A and B are shown apart, each in its own frame.
Chain A
């Protein structure tokens, strides 16, 4: 018999709205966590997953309070305990690893002190034993030179290191249950893979139970035994990880899995229609009714219960889950059609270099270039009409910098940007003509930032129309409504402010604004990374549809290799502002690859527990590109000698058509990688 470590019964948590109504954001949650088990809780923003994790510590965020139910730990209801009693449990028996470690570490206290604090509170070690234990813990989470680290302040550490400190802090009390709230969100892919591997090892070593909360099914798949899927404050599916990820029995989980782009499956993922209900919308029926393909009248009139399915551990909240058993998973809605090869060139980046470093006056006078490690260097890319080319890389790879200089927001230091046949776009925005400006449009990562909060949708969309086409009056209004239609929004959005729109709707407005200019080239800067997965799929589909319709060319910048795989025809991989590899997606995602591409691809998390990431390179953060040699020399697992540090590697072209910049012979690369 399995020992239950925490038992949650009929838990509801909510807040009082301004008009005094009680609004639940967690509704009637019942589940339990077994000893030694890792449970993944997955859901999109607003699903209540973090609130549930915090409730397992007897904690509710400010403004929230438990409405009903219990969280039972060791036969005590945590929600009833006094603060004094909770202090003894928190950190010692149940510990938390927070989402944003950078902001969760107290800025004025040294790392060592913050780890020691937990030891002091929850163990009987004396000062000597504690300092040994601190070193041991920091070692365990693989922080380099623990003794020095202990003397540092949080802001002196990189994001990955801060997350490791948070893990060490949580492990210090030797807890029975570890709660992890999106612990890898915001980290680079390679760092994320390393942290997950560390967590897996800890789970194996310490037999600690873990609850892993994330929106990322890929991460959940790597660590969990069991997965709970949440939607609108309810558990809709609860079962073994393989069962849930391979044949999800709830239409929401099914749709969610389908909307995740995967490396193994090229083409666009299927989008889920609609948006989740607001917490104050109370329906009699199933909360997923509005978005469900399988819904029948009964789903609208009565609420399904979370029920066990006969002869399996899986529980599902759906009347029609049996219909799903036949439905095939991983069917793609749209396979990108093979590129109609157009030879017409839209843009050519001719050996451009960009630097943020300010030139000294002397250098400016002599027109000399003194910066040894330039932010972005020697970028040479040809972009054909109608293609989607992706720039991928981790933070600091210079991908957004390149985009900004194409848009003319940053001036380039060397090289040339050529547009179409003969237009020189090297000068920045101020020196470009109206027509040049119109033909290149930019879509930003976060629509909350890129849409002016004090403008209505109508005002936002009229800006480019007025500027480039001089439209006004009736004509302007009709054009705006046409644009809204193009991004699948109705005219009722015209007078709304951005704050009155959902994340996906906002990004659609941003897309509409870019298309208003009727551009030849659209620059997409991480356009889906601020969005939920199901919304991301819809926005990707919209971009693809518009491209098919209008023949636009995209430059798509992203850190997410799976998204890039889904939408792009060609991929350029960047590291520290230098190109590593470029070629057709089909080729880049196959071997042989540049060692960095190999590392990146290896670190991608697929929503499949049996596809483990490969950890090839150390995850260290490099602040500056090296002065000489290959840009990846600092982390490359395949360094072959002095050459890598001294000489700039040559371009080699593989049989599949991808060009790789590496000193290792391409045949040897292939041999090593396969």
Chain B
């Protein structure tokens, strides 16, 4: 009797894989989630394989074919230096995705850590840390970013931690608020009364319950960070030419768009679709996990 009971139990064991696939199914069951997720995946695949599939060299300058409109040989036309816009558009997301992806990971890591820490210790330390974070929030991010870039350069080693730092502030707030909510609940009290150590309480009881909120916020931050990175490129403080980058391409093509609109349309569509895609996925992700993100403040 007992054996058969145990056997039926084994079948129903829930693994992490099940949980992930459950969330994925929930995301894909919404049209917005499906569209958003597909766009993001497509962009990531293109970013990875684009060097292998592009028809031309992205930096090959040819003064004979400057500003050609779209045709059979140059699907999206050519830019002011005669470079193939199609090639550059396909490759234009590589650095942006690379920098912002790792930037987001850094943001989640430090933002999550500090937020949980502050939520847990509370009191004076919490007050002081939040005051400092508030002070950082008061300085416009773009000013600080520009200053860093101007002085330290635009290499990825500078951009990734800098963006990660500035976009972790929002995550600190979310993680802190979530921690506050969770530690007031009885199951934390129960673990304390049982005599679990601090580490065990954080790892077993707290983390599983704040993880979702942090992940969703991280996904949102990713799209903001992408926006910021492209803006930097657009302003001429991000990726340096001739590396293909959407922000940079739009900036370069802008002056000529009255007669060569194709050189800006392609990167505009590419960048917008990626940001909207991330946003839609993040929204669907939040809904799949049962978190209503619209309640949060915009910064």
Contacts and interface: CB of A to CB of B under 8 A. Distances in A.
A and B touch in the complex (CB under 8 A): yes
Contacts of B204: 452, 455, 459, 463
A429 B6 contact: no
B190 A450 contact: yes
A432 B197 CA distance: 12
B208 A495 contact: no
A456 B9 CA distance: 13
A451 B194 contact: no
A453 interface: yes
Interface string B11-39: 01110000000000000000000000000
B209 A444 contact: no
A464 interface: yes
Nearest to A491: B5
Contacts of A463: 191, 194, 196, 204
B245 to A, nearest CB: 40
A455 B189 CA distance: 16
Contacts of B8: 491-492
Given A467-B195, A495-B9, A517-B194, A454 B209 contact: yes
A454 B208 contact: yes
B14 A446 contact: no
Interface in B185-244: 185-187, 189-196, 204-205, 208-209
A467 B208 CA distance: 19
A455 B209 CA distance: 10
Q: Which of A452, A455, A513 has the most CB of B within 10 A?
A: A452
A111 B193 CA distance: 43
B287 to A, nearest CB: 13
A495 B5 CA distance: 13
Given A490-B5, A494-B9, A467 B14 contact: no
A352 interface: no
Nearest to A442: B193
A449 interface: yes
The B contact surface, by secondary structure, is: helix
A452 B193 contact: no
A472 interface: no
A452 B205 contact: yes
Contacts of B12: 492, 494-495
Given A444-B186, A455-B208, A437 B5 contact: no
Nearest to B195: A437
Contacts of B14: 456, 495
A112 interface: no
Nearest to B29: A18
B9 A491 contact: yes
Interface in A496-535: 513, 517
A611 interface: no
Interface residues of A, number: 34
A481 B1 CA distance: 13
Contact of A449 (B6, B9, B185, B205): B185
Contacts of A450: 185-187, 189-190
Contacts of B208: 452, 454-455
A437 B194 CA distance: 6
A453 B290 CA distance: 13
A455 B186 CA distance: 14
A531 B205 CA distance: 25
A351 interface: no
A176 B205 CA distance: 53
A43 interface: no
Interface in A564-615: none
Contacts of A517: 194
Given A452-B205, A492-B9, A432 B195 contact: yes
Interface residues of B, number: 23
Interface in A392-429: 407-409, 429
Contact of A452 (B5, B6, B209): B209
A434 interface: yes
A438 B194 CA distance: 7
A20 B43 CA distance: 35
Contacts of A429: 192-193, 195
A490 B189 CA distance: 27
B202 to A, nearest CB: 13
A604 B128 CA distance: 51
Contact of A495 (B13, B185, B190, B193): B13
A308 B196 CA distance: 60
A459 B192 CA distance: 16
A490 B191 CA distance: 25
A408 B193 contact: yes
A467 B187 contact: no
Contact of B196 (A449, A459, A467): A467
B122 to A, nearest CB: 14
A249 B2 CA distance: 41
Nearest to A454: B208
B43 to A, nearest CB: 31
Q: Which of A438, A463, A490, A513 has the most CB of B within 10 A?
A: A463
A612 B157 CA distance: 79
Contact of B186 (A438, A446, A464, A467): A446
A418 B186 CA distance: 25
Contacts of A492: 5, 8-9, 12
B12 to A, nearest CB: 5
Contact of A464 (B5, B13, B185, B194): B194
B221 to A, nearest CB: 23
A455 B190 CA distance: 14
Given A444-B186, A452-B209, A454-B209, A409 B192 contact: yes
A477 B13 CA distance: 13
B72 to A, nearest CB: 49
Contacts of A491: 5-6, 8-9
Nearest to B208: A454
B181 to A, nearest CB: 12
B193 A409 contact: yes
A552 to B, nearest CB: 16
Contacts of A481: 2, 5-6
Contacts of B9: 491-492, 494-495
Contacts of A442: 189-190, 193
Contact of B209 (A434, A453, A459, A490): A453
Interface in B255-296: none
B209 A409 contact: no
Contacts of B185: 449-450
Nearest to B187: A452
Contacts of A455: 204, 208
Nearest to B184: A449
Contacts of A451: 187
A429 B201 CA distance: 14
Interface string A462-503: 011001000000000100010000000011101100000000
Contacts of B2: 481
A491 B192 CA distance: 27
A282 B196 CA distance: 45
Contact of A444 (B13, B189, B192): B189
Nearest to A455: B208
Nearest to B182: A452
Interface in A354-396: none
A495 B14 CA distance: 7
B195 A434 contact: yes
B246 to A, nearest CB: 39
A626 B259 CA distance: 85
Nearest to B206: A452
Instruction: Name the 7 nearest CB pairs between A and B, nearest first.
Output: A437-B195, A454-B208, A450-B186, A449-B186, A452-B187, A444-B186, A407-B193
Given A409-B193, A452-B204, A494-B12, 10 more contacts: A409-B189, A441-B194, A442-B189, A449-B185, A449-B187, A463-B204, A467-B194, A467-B196, A490-B5, A495-B14
10 contacts: A437-B194, A438-B195, A444-B189, A449-B186, A450-B190, A455-B208, A463-B196, A464-B194, A491-B8, A495-B13
Interface of B: 2, 5-6, 8-9, 12-14, 185-187, 189-196, 204-205, 208-209
